[in-house]
Chain A
């Protein structure tokens, strides 16, 4: 069965520090992978998506993610955190249906 895990339900970083949010997928066949962001009291917005064209995917707001088949991972990074990055982040896998991970709440400390 499809499943997506996100290590760390809550991550805190200082403003200007590296952001690393972890995601591991379960599918034995490389799926389509997505990162979504949810700001308070809003729906989810697409940050970036992996479609097998390139292993390093660049998204909006300076975020990027690297697909590593050997590790079944799709970790999200940003070199320098900004206060406006504080939000909930969801990794999702799309194979025969879209499955979401449990989410990671990112706090940015000034």
Chain B
């Protein structure tokens, strides 16, 4: 009964370093999303995927990359970390697409600090 699993939970990066945030889901959901959460700003969509091999940009994609080689996994890549990428990152999945009423299932988040 794992749902959406994100690793790591916490990470500190130096400016210019790279890292991959991992996300996996065991619900066989086709739709997967990456959001970042900043205080007072709600959640902003970074990238999303409607199925294996298909990804698209969200509201704030700059500085990030994604891939979707399997239904289960949707990793988020930061190539050159910048302080502006300090945030809490959430991965989510859904059974169906907007505008259907499929709710999002969220992981517990990755708290990233770039110094």
Contacts and interface: CB of A to CB of B under 8 A. Distances in A.
A10 to B, nearest CB: 10
Chain B interface size, under 10 / 10 to 19 / 20 to 34 / 35 or more: 20 to 34
Interface string B87-109: 00010100000111101101111
A90 B42 CA distance: 7
Tell me which of A43, A49, A90, A96 has the highest count of chain B C-beta atoms within 10 A of its own C-beta.
A43
Nearest to A33: B101
B2 to A, nearest CB: 13
B40 interface: yes
A83 to B, nearest CB: 22
B81 interface: no
Interface in A19-33: 31-32
Contact of B98 (A43, A51, A96, A103): A96
Interface in B11-27: none
A26 to B, nearest CB: 14
Contacts of A101: 42
Nearest to A32: B101
A77 B43 CA distance: 22
B89 to A, nearest CB: 11
B101 A51 contact: yes
Interface of B: 4, 33, 35, 40-45, 48, 58, 90, 92, 98-101, 103-104, 106-109
**Nearest 3 pairs of A and B residues by beta carbon:** A43-B106, A102-B42, A100-B42
